[in-house]
Structure 1
Amino acid sequence: MTVRTLPVNAGIVTQETGYNCGPATTQNAIWAKTQRVVPESQLARELGTTVNGTDSIAYLDRALGNHLGIDHLTQWVLNDPPTPAQVNDFWGRLVRSVNAGYAVAMNWIAPPNNYPRGVGGSRSPSYGGGTVYHYTLAAGYDDAHRWVFVADSGFQPKTYWITVEQCMSLIAGKGYTYPNLPTGLKVTDVTGFTSAFMSAIGSDAKDVLAQIAGRWPQLGGRTVAEAVAELMKR
């Protein structure tokens, strides 16, 4: 069982205006990785935030990429409810991000019948006033229960746990932004395995593998191993 949470700065987690949840979430994500405070007003300018809020989670991926030095990707979840595969994809990206020290920014739609419900003894946040459109931060995980640790700039308490299923039901209709981390798989890893495998098998199979290991015009002159490694970087 692993429970891992990133740092949350109690002094900055709260958004400075009623419409600054996008800049505040970005600010909290930067702090979680670097313990560096970027003024919320500066981030609001970068995100194009107005009294109507921040138009798109895609603006957060650009800002986070600039401040954290690693590209961020936005995953849209436009269907509601999300599929089990989408839930699992989010969970895998969250765990991988947090393990590397990065949080995941989320855009939520929370109708009154689906306000966030705290689990694991954490208090439910004080959402109210109809459907809430809001940016929040996933800053940790509990893999035994598949719970998500949320830093919430707009409501008390500022941190709480919810299930990954409810978390994704809140993202449905919007999206989330996560760091584009390298996979760690290198072409040499794949080709090295292929060479070792070929030395242990018979000549007929070697002929087949020799063709696979060759350079294919259909793959832009790359080997199968090189093409697979390139795909896994994306």
Structure 2
Amino acid sequence: MNLSLRNSMLSVAGLVMAGGAIAGPAMAAQATPAERAAASVVSEQGKGARKAGYEYEAQPNFYYCGPASTRIALSADGKAVSQDELAEKLGTTVNGTDSAIDITRVLNEYTGGKYKTTEISSDEASKEQVERLRADVKAAVDAGEPVVANILGGAVDVDGKEHSYPGHYLTVVEYKDDGNTVKISDPAAPDAPEYWMDITELANWIAGRGYSS
């Protein structure tokens, strides 16, 4: 975790609601028919690796990260719900979506109660919380149910690229290395919508907030 970056982002977090809105718009990406057809597929990628089939769609404005991430997760269950419909159910405003609890509530409305909320209340995730996240991601992706995470501040992916938001939601859609490395589907980054991240880095990115799995 880039602590200096995280601390600098924490200092501006008051500009948005705790749930997440980002500083600039992203244009919606279009999925191919093949991608849509694969939306409900869960496939083996190798030993200690699994991927949930899903349909990516970018958020159309700076505050729809909650609806967009929820839509990505639901697409793995074969459900194509509009972001506007999800935003209404989530109570999303220009200040974002309040918390992971709202994401879980709406995911459960469409999936029949498959999701739960887990909070990482401390500023830094403990070893136990990292392990809990790893286990939750593996169980969720194995079941074809991507995880929606509520994050704050900055984090660095496995390629050394920094990603920072003053509040944001994103979706975890794949894992490898027995869950120690996970793939993020980021609705705010249509030009580079996927990146891999160490599970500890992700847990610390979520720290102070929570996730739906």
TM-score normalised by the chain length of structure 1: 0.67
In the other structure, the counterpart of 1:167 is 202
CA offset digits 1:148-191 (Å, max 9, x no partner)? 1111001241111000010000000000111xxxxxxxxxxxxx
CA offset digits 1:102-158 (Å, max 9, x no partner)? 111100012xxxx33232x5x836x46xx5210011111112571011110012411
Structure-2 separation of matches of 1:168 and 1:2: 19
The one of 25, 30, 50 equivalent to 1:4 is 50
In the other structure, the counterpart of 1:198 is none
The amino acid of 1:6's aligned partner reads A
The one of 60, 64, 88 equivalent to 1:20 is 64
In the other structure, the counterpart of 2:211 is 176
**Aligned residues of 2:48 and 2:179 also touching (Cα < 8 A):** no
In the other structure, the counterpart of 1:143 is 177
The one of 91, 94, 98 equivalent to 1:48 is 91
Aligned residues between the structures: 166
Query: Alignment identity in percent?
Result: 30
TM-score normalised by the chain length of structure 2: 0.73
**Aligned residues of 1:149 and 1:159 also touching (Cα < 8 A):** yes
Comparing both structures, which one devotes a greater share of its residues to helix?
A: 1
The offset of 1:80, in angstroms, is 1.8
The one of 76, 94, 116 equivalent to 2:155 is 116
Comparing both structures, which one devotes a greater share of its residues to strand?
A: 2
Structure with max Cα Rg: 1
Matches within 5 A, 1:123-138: 124=161, 127=163, 131-138=165-172
CA offset digits 1:32-85 (Å, max 9, x no partner)? 222x31000000000000001001110010110011123421111110211100
Higher relative contact order, structure no. (Cα contacts within 8 Å, ≥ 6 residues apart): 2
Structure-2 separation of matches of 1:3 and 1:116: 22
Matches within 5 A, 1:189-228: none
- Secondary structure class of the residue paired with 2:76: helix
Show structure 1 runs of 5+ residues with no match: 179-234
Q: Aligned-residue CA RMSD in angstroms?
A: 1.7
Structure-2 separation of matches of 1:5 and 1:103: 9
**Aligned residues of 1:87 and 1:168 also touching (Cα < 8 A):** yes
Structure-1 separation of matches of 2:115 and 2:139: 13
Moved over 3 A (4+): none
Structure-1 separation of matches of 2:198 and 2:166: 18
The offset of 1:2, in angstroms, is 2.2
